[in-house]
Structure 1
Amino acid sequence: MSLYGTMRTGVSGMNAQANRLSTVADNIANANTTGYKKASTQFSSLILPSTGGAYNSGGVTTDVRYSISAQGTFTYTTSSTDLAINGKGFFIVQGSDGQEYMTRAGAFTPMDDGTLQNSAGFTLMGYEYSSTEDPTIVVNGFDGLGEINLSSGELNAKGSAEGALDVNLPSNADDGYEKKTSLKAYDSQGNSRLIEFNYTKVSDNNWTVEATYDGTSIAGPIAMVFDSAGKLTSPSPAIITTTPQTTGGAELAELEISIGGSTQLASDFDVSNGKIDGNAASKVTGYEISDDGVLSLKYSNGELTPKYRIAMASVQSPDNLKPLPGNVYSQSNESGVVVMGYAGTNGYGSIISGALEDSNVDIAEELTSMIESQRNYTANSKVFQTGSELMETLVNLKR
Structure 2
Amino acid sequence: MLRSMYAGISGMKNFQTKLDVIGNNIANVNTAGFKKGRVTFQDMMSQTTAGAQGPTATRGGVNPMQVGLGSQMGTIDNIHTQGFRQTTNNPLDLQLEGDGMFVLQDADDSTYYTRAGNFYLDDNDNIVNPDGYYLRGFTADDNGEITTGIGNLSIPETAKSFSIQTDGTVNYVNEDNETIVAGQILLASFSNPSGLEKAGSNLFINSPNAGLAENLVTPETEGTASIVSGALEMSNVDLAEEFTEMITAQRGFQANTRIITTSDEILQELVNLKR
Asked whether the two chains share a fold, i.e. TM above 0.5, the reply is yes
Displacement, 1:121? 4.1
Q: Distance in 2 between matches of 1:135 and 1:298?
A: 19
Give 5+ residue unaligned stretches, structure 2: 52-64
**Which amino acid is 2:218 matched to?**
Y
Map Cα deviations across residues 27-66 of structure 1 (whole Å, 9 max, x no partner).
Answer: 1111101111110111111132222698543111221011
Displacement, 1:118? 2.3
Which of the residues 370, 389, 394 maps onto 2:265? 389
The equivalent of 1:285 in structure 2 is: 160
Higher strand share: 1
Q: Distance in 2 between matches of 1:80 and 1:116?
A: 12
The equivalent of 2:116 in structure 1 is: 105
The normalised TM-score by structure 1 is 0.61
Displacement, 1:120? 4.4
The equivalent of 1:67 in structure 2 is: 79
**Which amino acid is 1:326 matched to?**
S
The equivalent of 1:321 in structure 2 is: 196
Q: Distance in 2 between matches of 1:351 and 1:19?
A: 36
SS at 2:160's partner residue?
Answer: strand
The equivalent of 2:55 in structure 1 is: none
The normalised TM-score by structure 2 is 0.86
SS at 1:50's partner residue?
Answer: strand
The equivalent of 1:257 in structure 2 is: none
**Which amino acid is 2:245 matched to?**
S
The equivalent of 1:334 in structure 2 is: 209
Q: Distance in 2 between matches of 1:370 and 1:49?
A: 31
Going from structure 1 to structure 2, the CA distance change for 1:362 and 1:377 (only over 3 Å counts) comes to same
Q: Distance in 2 between matches of 1:121 and 1:42?
A: 36
Higher helix share: 2
The equivalent of 1:267 in structure 2 is: none
**Which amino acid is 1:287 matched to?**
F
If you compute each CA radius of gyration, which structure gives the higher value, 1 or 2?
1
Which of the residues 82, 98, 101 maps onto 1:90? 101
**How do 1:249-398 and structure 2 match up within 5 A?**
283-339=158-214, 340-398=216-274
SS at 2:220's partner residue?
Answer: coil
Displacement, 1:304? 1.6
**Which amino acid is 1:327 matched to?**
N
Which of the residues 16, 19, 38 maps onto 2:17? 19
The equivalent of 1:231 in structure 2 is: none
**Structure 1 residue runs of 4+, over 4 Å off?**
52-55, 130-134
Q: Distance in 1 between matches of 2:67 and 2:255?
A: 19
Going from structure 1 to structure 2, the CA distance change for 1:316 and 1:129 (only over 3 Å counts) comes to same
Matched, 1:149 2:149: no
Q: Distance in 1 between matches of 2:66 and 2:98?
A: 51
Q: Distance in 2 between matches of 1:123 and 1:32?
A: 24
Map Cα deviations across residues 236-261 of structure 1 (whole Å, 9 max, x no partner).
Answer: xxxxxxxxxxxxxxxxxxxxxxxxxx
Report percent identity of matched pairs.
34
Displacement, 1:74? 1.2
**Which amino acid is 1:67 matched to?**
I
Displacement, 1:21? 0.7
Going from structure 1 to structure 2, the CA distance change for 1:132 and 1:149 (only over 3 Å counts) comes to closer
Q: Distance in 1 between matches of 2:145 and 2:126?
A: 24
SS at 2:274's partner residue?
Answer: coil
**How do 1:223-238 and structure 2 match up within 5 A?**
none
Map Cα deviations across residues 54-97 of structure 1 (whole Å, 9 max, x no partner).
Answer: 854311122101112x1112111121111111111110012354
Q: Distance in 2 between matches of 1:325 and 1:145?
A: 25
- Cα contact 2:146–2:183 (8 A) shared by 1: no
Q: Distance in 2 between matches of 1:18 and 1:132?
A: 56
Q: Distance in 1 between matches of 2:135 and 2:13?
A: 39
**Which amino acid is 1:95 matched to?**
D
Paired residues, number: 259
The equivalent of 1:274 in structure 2 is: none
Which of the residues 120, 128, 134 maps onto 2:139? 128
Displacement, 1:346? 1.4
Matched, 1:35 2:44: no
**Which amino acid is 2:249 matched to?**
S
- Cα contact 1:129–1:294 (8 A) shared by 2: no
The equivalent of 2:62 in structure 1 is: none
**How do 1:50-65 and structure 2 match up within 5 A?**
50-51=48-49, 56-62=67-73, 63-65=75-77
**Which amino acid is 1:28 matched to?**
I
- Cα contact 2:139–2:152 (8 A) shared by 1: no
